Each structure stands twice: as structure tokens, then as C-alpha cells.
Amino acid sequence: MNSHLGIRVAVLQAVAVALVSVALAIALPRSFFEDWGWLSGPGAWLLCALFTASALALPRGRALLGAVLAGLPSLIAVVLGVHWLGAVLAIALFAIWCSRLQPREDPLALI
């Protein structure tokens, strides 16, 4: 387990999720999220995870699997009405998952 990598994953994923959330909130009406949040939320989460994995040269497939698994417990938080607590939990779980992955040798890695 690489704690330095885990911290980088957590920070990058948190920033990506925050930026995408703000951009979507500005661009789309609240009614969109009431009708399509069940699809747009997980989709945005996976896109952010793909970005994080690519930026840190992590194996994308295994990172996306980790993102799916990390997102499952956050569903409980959504059902309980504490959506952002679920996001924090998912980010922490995703960072723990990714801290166990071996980064690729990738000259295009951003961070």
C-alpha cells in the first residue's frame, strides 16, 4: 500500500468531483438532477475516476473497478439524505483501493 499515492488519488479525485459538480450545477437546472441524478452522478464519478487514473498513470480498468466498488457504499448515504457524506466516503475508499495499484510507466501522466 502506497500512502503517498493514496493521498494524491484522494486530492485529485476530490478536486475533479468538486469541479464537475460545480460545472454541472451551473449549467443544468435542479430538475435535471431530480430526474437524471441517478445516471449523471455515477457517470460523472466514473469520468472523474478515469481522469484521476490517467493523470496518475494507474491501470484504468482496475481503477474504474475500484471507483464502482467505492461508490456502492455511498448509495446508503444518498438514501439517507447525506449525499456529500457519501461522496467523501467514496473518495476515501477509492483512494485506499488505488493506493494498492501499481502505476504504469507512462510519459503522459500528469502528476
Tens-digit pLDDT string for the chain (111 aa): 899 999 999 999 999 999 999 999 999 998 988 888 778 889 999 999 999 999 999 999 999 999 999 999 988 988 898 988 999 999 999 999 999 999 987 655 555
* C-alpha span between 67 and 55 (Å, rounded): 15
**Does any domain span residue 86?**
yes
Q: Specify the pLDDT at position 111.
A: 56
**Does any domain span residue 46?**
yes
| DSSP label of 105 | -
The parent domain of residue 67 ranges over 3-98
**Does any domain span residue 91?**
yes
**Does any domain span residue 32?**
yes
Q: Specify the pLDDT at position 60.
A: 95
**Does any domain span residue 16?**
yes
**Does any domain span residue 38?**
yes
* C-alpha span between 45 and 43 (Å, rounded): 5
Task: Decide: 43 and 71 in contact? Cβ < 8 Å.
Answer: no
Q: Specify the pLDDT at position 107.
A: 53
State which amino acid sits at residue 24. L
Q: Specify the pLDDT at position 99.
A: 97
Q: Specify the pLDDT at position 109.
A: 56
**Does any domain span residue 103?**
no
Q: Specify the pLDDT at position 84.
A: 86
State which amino acid sits at residue 6. G
Total domains in the fold of the chain: 1
Q: Global pTM?
A: 0.87
The HSE-up count of residue 107 (CA atoms within 13 Å, CB side) is 0
Give the dihedral sign, CA 76/59/56/4: positive
